């Protein structure tokens, strides 16, 4: 039996809601199949007073903590006191400080726990940080060299929220003893989920290839990168291969990817592609140089097949550039 404790810092409970969307199996069936005992969870446990005793028993060595899941940012404010986020009589950051070295594995679930996320957006009034990263910088609350009892760093499952399958698959790899450090990327995210971009599996990719742009949110055709600020071409996530609610994704319904699995989320320029004076997007697709982009644009425009272009033309020049 493996003990799992889930705590929440600066969070909106979005990752909890996502977890509850797990199906086949649902979260309770999953825990029973994997021999996991849920010690406490802020939304699933009835007894909010008992958590203090559970945490003290872990600290006193009476209960083993196999998997510690933290949702939300670690709040350090005001003035590094952490008292903006009190929990069971102490700043939450202090509970994290005591529990972290006793944990066999720690999962930072969501972008806020991984990198600071929305609470850490400038001007970061709560002094929020991620568990082991602050945005791009390694360190965060626990420090660059922190390791759990298993020898692994914090495992980041970024996303706003993270998909339930990413969370449960990671927990299952841990509970089966199969998670190793070489399975993590440079931001300590499991590579099985974060090695391809959101573009992988996006049905709009043919439009990207031929630079056919959609300029209208929710439109069925066209790529959302060139005008509507889609970050799918440079965001690592499997949102178009492991679908949400087993059926859809943002780009499938005409909403641009907002890059919520990356360290720089949120960027607050949603639905708009920032371009330089020559009309070239400031953020280029992953691995593409400016020169390659210019060549790509010239070739793509001239070779776009009519069957892709036609549904988008309202009047000449309206949809394709």
CB of 220 to ligand SF4, least distance (A): 12
Nearest partner of 54 among 3, 1, 109, judged by Cα: 3
160 is in an annotated binding site: yes
Distance of CA 103 to the CA centre of its chain: 22
Max Cα-Cα span within the chain: 73
Closest residue to ligand SF4 using C-beta atoms: 232
Please identify, using beta-carbon distances, which residue of 144 and 301 lies nearer to ligand SF4. 301
Q: What are the backbone dihedrals phi and psi of residue 250, each rounded to the nearest 5 degrees, phi first? A: -60, -50
**Which residues does residue 211 pair with via DSSP β-bridges, in sequence order?**
none
CB of 311 to ligand SF4, least distance (A): 15
CB of 223 to ligand SF4, least distance (A): 4
Please identify, using beta-carbon distances, which residue of 13 and 205 lies nearer to ligand SF4. 205
Please identify, using beta-carbon distances, which residue of 65 and 224 lies nearer to ligand SF4. 224
CB of 102 to ligand SF4, least distance (A): 41
CA-to-CA distance for 212 and 312, rounded, in angstroms?
Answer: 8
CA-to-CA distance for 110 and 108, rounded, in angstroms?
Answer: 7
Please identify, using beta-carbon distances, which residue of 84 and 265 lies nearer to ligand SF4. 265
253 is in an annotated binding site: no
CA-to-CA distance for 260 and 166, rounded, in angstroms?
Answer: 14
116 is in an annotated binding site: no
Whole-angstrom CA distances from 236 to 11, 103, 241, 273 are 22, 28, 12, 18
297 is in an annotated binding site: no
282 is in an annotated binding site: no
278 is in an annotated binding site: no
Which residues make up the interface to ligand SF4 (CB under 6 A)? 198-199, 202, 204-205, 208, 223-225, 230, 232-233, 251, 257
Please identify, using beta-carbon distances, which residue of 143 and 279 lies nearer to ligand SF4. 279
CB of 202 to ligand SF4, least distance (A): 3
Nearest partner of 319 among 258, 251, 308, 254, judged by Cα: 308
Nearest partner of 283 among 226, 205, 236, 223, judged by Cα: 226
230 is in an annotated binding site: yes
Give the annotated binding-site residues for [4Fe-4S] cluster: 12, 112, 160, 202, 223, 230
Give the annotated binding-site residues for [3Fe-4S] cluster: 239, 257, 260
């Amino acid at each position: 039996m493996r003990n799992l404790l889930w705590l929440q810092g600066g969070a909106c409970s979005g990752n909890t809601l996502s977890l509850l969307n797990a199906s086949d199996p649902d979260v309770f069936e999953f825990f029973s199949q994997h021999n996991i005992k849920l010690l406490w969870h802020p939304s699933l446990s009835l007894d909010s007073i008992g958590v203090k005793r559970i945490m003290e028993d872990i600290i006193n060595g009476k209960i083993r903590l196999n998997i510690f899941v933290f949702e939300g940012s670690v709040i350090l404010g005001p003035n590094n006191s952490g008292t903006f986020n009190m929990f069971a009589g102490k700043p939450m950051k202090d509970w994290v400080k005591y529990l972290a070295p006793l944990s066999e594995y720690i999962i930072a679930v969501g972008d806020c726990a991984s990198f600071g996320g929305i609470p850490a957006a400038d001007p970061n009034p709560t002094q929020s940080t991620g568990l082991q990263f602050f945005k791009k910088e390694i360190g965060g609350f626990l420090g660059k060299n922190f390791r759990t009892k298993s020898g692994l760093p914090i495992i980041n499952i970024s996303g706003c929220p993270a998909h339930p399958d990413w969370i449960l698959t990671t927990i299952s790899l841990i509970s089966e003893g199969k998670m190793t450090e070489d399975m993590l990327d440079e931001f300590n995210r499991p590579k099985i989920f974060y090695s391809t971009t959101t573009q992988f599996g996006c049905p709009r990719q043919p439009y990207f290839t031929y630079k056919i742009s959609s300029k209208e949110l929710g439109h069925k055709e066209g790529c959302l990168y060139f005008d509507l600020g889609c970050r799918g071409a440079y965001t690592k996530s499997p949102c178009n291969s492991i679908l949400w609610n087993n059926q859809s994704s943002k780009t499938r319904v005409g909403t641009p990817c907002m890059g919520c699995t990356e360290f720089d989320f949120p960027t607050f320029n949603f639905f708009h592609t920032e371009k330089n004076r020559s009309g070239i997007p400031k953020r280029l697709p992953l691995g593409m140089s400016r020169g390659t982009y210019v060549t790509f644009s010239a070739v793509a425009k001239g070779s776009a097949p009519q069957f892709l272009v036609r549904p988008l033309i309202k009047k000449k020049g309206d949809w394709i550039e």
